[in-house]
Structures are given as C-alpha cells and as structure tokens.
Amino acid sequence: MSVQSDTFLWIAVFAILAAIVNVLGILILYKFRKWAEKAKAYFMCFAAGVLISTPLMLALPQAIQKNFYAGIMALLGFLFMFFSNEFIKRITKKEVLAFGIVAAEGIGIHSFIDGIIYTVTFSISILTGFLAATGLVIHEFAEGIITYTLFLKGGVKEKTAMFYAFLVSGLTTPLGAFIAYPLVNKLSQSNMGLILGFVAGVLIYISASHLLPEARGEEKKHSSFAFLSGVGLAIFIVLSKLF
C-alpha cells in the first residue's frame, strides 16, 4: 500500500468513526438521558486535554518548520473561530426564535471544519493526525448530545430531531474530510505549513474556548482529572514515538 493510500485510509476511518460516535451520543441521550447528561462534561474535558496538547506539541512546531509564518496563520485560525462564534451569538440575540437553527448551523460548520482538520493533520503525519483525530472523535459524542438537545428545545419531535442532529453534526465531518482530501494533496509543503498553522489555531480555540468552558461550567467533581487524563494520553503517545 502506498503512503498516499495509507493516509487516505486513516482519514476515512477516523472521519467515519467520528460520525458513528456522534450517532452513539444521540442514541444514548435518547435512551439514557440522565447518564448522557452526566457523562457529557467528562468526554468534553478529556477531548479538550488531547486537543490542547496536540497543536502545542506537534501541529504548530511542524507547521513552523514548513513555513516560518505558520504562527501568524495559527493566530488567524484562532481569531476565525472566535469571530465566527461572536457572529452566531449576535444573531441568536436578535433572532431568539431562530436560536436552534442558527446554533445548529454553527455546529454544522464546526463539524465540517473537523473533517478538514482530519485531512490536513493526517497529510502531515500519521501521529499528528491520530492525536488530533482522537480528541475530535471523543468530542463528537458530546456534540451529538448537544445538537440533539438543541433540536428538542426548538420543539422538533424526538425521532426527527435525531435525524436532523445526525445530518448537522455527524454527516458533515466525513463530508469535510473527503472534500478536502483531493485539494490538500495538491498543496506544496510551504502551503501545507500555513494550512496546518491555521488548523493548530482552530484546535486551540476548540479546546480552550469551546470545550473547556462549557464542560467546566457544569462543575463536575472529576472534570479536572478527565482533562489531565487527555493531556497525559497525548504526552504518552508523543513520547512513545520519540523514544
């Protein structure tokens, strides 16, 4: 098997796995609502630990090696996610009745970007892709729960809400990965460095400004331990590859 086909296989496996985990979150909330609501914060904290470690230890250093200006792109990636969220918040304040729809659109865009991240990180190296994808797949569980809950709050019937939640937060991830793959393969190493820098900024934002605040806001007893477990797993995997 060639390196290119091997990379595509990893991308496809994790993109499809993300959709499956997303569906599991939706189904478990449907069947076991109390347990799912309690477990959601732990999954988000663990995912945040993996996702904050990956760009700082691997993605950003690799990006700067390929292109000196990758750090600027990381800042732009962070700001892009920040202002995207601010834009969504402003709309929801003005259009209260459309809250569920607008929030779902935001999650859909976010999930589509997740798919692109899989393609970019695996195209750099299997290790970088594996770590980034692990954190993203784990947070898909919580994302499925959140999206399903949004539709329920919007008055959508349970089974219809499940279907919409899958379309918005589950299907968009593999879609983003497969659309990005042929485009990413045509980029030079220097341009890949810029794209990876942007992705690193997005990952840092997702972890530090999206997953952690939402998870810690629920004040779960062992949420800090879950976060540090995610950091520890990322460090262990990186060190095991270096030594």
Give average pLDDT by consecutive 10-residue segment, the chain, 243 residues: 73 90 87 78 79 82 90 92 74 50 65 84 83 80 77 76 86 90 85 88 81 65 79 78 56
* Whether the predicted model's global pTM rises above the 0.75 cut: no
The structure tokens listed for 8 are: 């595509």
Burial of 95 (0-12, 13-18, 19+ CB in 10 A): exposed
C-beta separation of 119 from 11 below 8 A: yes
C-beta separation of 76 from 201 below 8 A: yes
Predicted local distance difference test score (pLDDT) of residue 97: 39
Predicted local distance difference test score (pLDDT) of residue 98: 47
Predicted local distance difference test score (pLDDT) of residue 218: 59
The structure tokens listed for 235 are: 């460090």
The phi-psi region of residue 187 (left if phi > 0; otherwise alpha if psi is between -120 and 50; otherwise beta) is: beta
Please name which of 26, 10, 54, 18 lies closest in space to residue 158, comparing C-alpha atoms: 26
**Measured in Å, how far apart are the chain's first and last C-alpha atoms?**
26
C-beta separation of 199 from 77 below 8 A: yes
Burial of 85 (0-12, 13-18, 19+ CB in 10 A): middle
Give me the residue spans of the domains in the chain. 3-237
